[in-house]
Amino acid sequence: MSDNRRINISEPAVIDTDLTPLSDKFQLEPSDSVEQWVYGNDNTYSPNRTQTPLILTPVISVVDMDSGTAYTPAISNVHYYVLEYNASTFQWEETLVSTVSPGTDADYYILENTNKLVVRKNVSPTSGVTIRCEAYYVDPRDANVTYHVEDSVTLSANQDATAIYPVIDVREQKTTEYNPFTDVSSQFSFHASASIDGSDVSAATLFQWYAVSAGTEVLIDTLPCYVSGQGTATLVVDAMYAEDLTIVLRAKADAQAPLYPCKVFRSLMWFIPKIDAKSVCTNGAAVRNSGGSLMHFECLLKMRGRDLTDDMRKHLAFKWIAKKINPANPSDGDLVGWSPTIDMTNAQLINTTAYSTHVKAEVYLLSALKPVTYLNEQVTYNGQPVFAREI
């Protein structure tokens, strides 16, 4: 047959290679129960994962749905993620497990080189932990095809019904307000109690007082606001050292016992009422030339219609601003100084006859007492830390 007799070549019929669907089963197999029990008031765990860790093993099986052929492919790119409650941020957070065997006793989650995960954490009865594993495997029939799989398990702990904890409470209302202008004292007391089935067991309870600092619970006696009462039923704190304080009460049977799981929160915060302010010149309302006596300015303050006393005014700072009115050259004014009152010369005040000069005080509340630092170190005097108030 001669090619010169070929008159055309048809378009080809395209036949794709279509792999039979695979049915895969991927799961994490635990070496022990994913549920723990917490027994008695001593908070003992069974099983105790710090002594007998839980091992999670990823297992995969694959079946060709048409032929019925079963495969056990190798998995790769195995990653574990832990979802747990962060008490510092008050949020659930998922983090990637990055610690590789052998790890240390302080590591809760350790990745073995066999893709197994070692879990050494005892789970809190109040919040479980979810562990998610994701991996990839190659189609045993075609090395160019890769599949993604994942599975998760939830670890939890049950409180034994025989564990009886006291109910703890704080007598004071949820929020206590401190008004620096009207309250006689800045110190406040908080009173704790503990009871079981209505019977008072406060005398047999060790109370531990905490405060939330930078999002973390710390012992309150480590903070400047602490006055007295750690370990007792009565806590005393000073609001002059904390404008917004979150107090946390916890308790335990004795100094060696673990803390009970319950907490009670109370807040202590500053309350600032509305204060009316008016700047006045006490010795005149006009200047004639650049000479003459100083003009004296004061800021009149009233709260609920009554003048603030000198004892109230000590909580405030005054920023004096002088503004010469001039539509052609508008400005926010010039800083004259920081002082309860201010004296100004005629030269500072004189303007054109068409426009006036406005003098006003911006009134600021001084902050709570804060540690004074120098070069990032606490300043002390006679061995005691120095505190000051800021604007």
Residue 184, domain CATH: 2.60.40.10
> Which amino acid is located at 29 in the chain?
E
The answer to whether residues 102 and 79 belong to one domain is yes
Does residue 371 form part of some domain? no
Q: Which helix (H) or strand (E) holds 347?
A: helix 346-349
234: nearest Cα among 190, 168, 186, 174: 190
Does residue 384 form part of some domain? no
CB 254 within 8 A of CB 206: yes
CA distance 192 to 229: 11
Per-residue pLDDT tens for 276-296?
999 999 988 888 776 678 899
Does residue 342 form part of some domain? yes
The pLDDT confidence band at residue 1, using thresholds 50, 70 and 90, is low
CB 90 within 8 A of CB 104: no
Q: Which helix (H) or strand (E) holds 312?
A: helix 310-313
**Domain extent at residue 97:** 22-159
The answer to whether residues 58 and 154 belong to one domain is yes
Q: What value does the mean pLDDT of the chain take?
A: 89
120: domain CATH number is: 2.60.40
Last residue of a domain, one of 246, 270, 294: 270
H-state helical runs in the chain: 310-313, 346-349
Q: In the chain, how many domains are there?
A: 3
Does residue 213 form part of some domain? yes
> Would you state the pLDDT for residue 73?
93
The pLDDT confidence band at residue 161, using thresholds 50, 70 and 90, is low
159: nearest Cα among 5, 243, 42: 42
H-state helical runs in 164-302: none
The answer to whether residues 181 and 147 belong to one domain is no
Does residue 53 form part of some domain? yes
CA distance 42 to 322: 68
Does residue 61 form part of some domain? yes
Last residue of a domain, one of 254, 270, 286: 270
Q: Please say if the pLDDT value at position 13 is more than 80.
A: no
Per-residue pLDDT tens for 99-134?
888 877 778 999 998 999 999 999 988 888 999 999
Token pair of 244 as six digits = 């917004």
| 20 phi and psi angles, rounded to 5 deg | -65, 135
The answer to whether residues 62 and 86 belong to one domain is yes
Token pair of 94 as six digits = 């998922």
Alpha-carbon 228 to chain mean position: 26
Does residue 299 form part of some domain? yes
The answer to whether residues 336 and 237 belong to one domain is no
DSSP structure class, residue 254: S
Helix (DSSP H) and strand (DSSP E) numbers for the chain: 2, 34
The answer to whether residues 183 and 105 belong to one domain is no
The pLDDT confidence band at residue 179, using thresholds 50, 70 and 90, is very high
Last residue of a domain, one of 249, 270, 291: 270
Per-residue pLDDT tens for 301-351?
999 899 999 999 999 999 999 999 888 888 888 999 999 999 999 888 888
The answer to whether residues 224 and 246 belong to one domain is yes
The answer to whether residues 302 and 241 belong to one domain is no
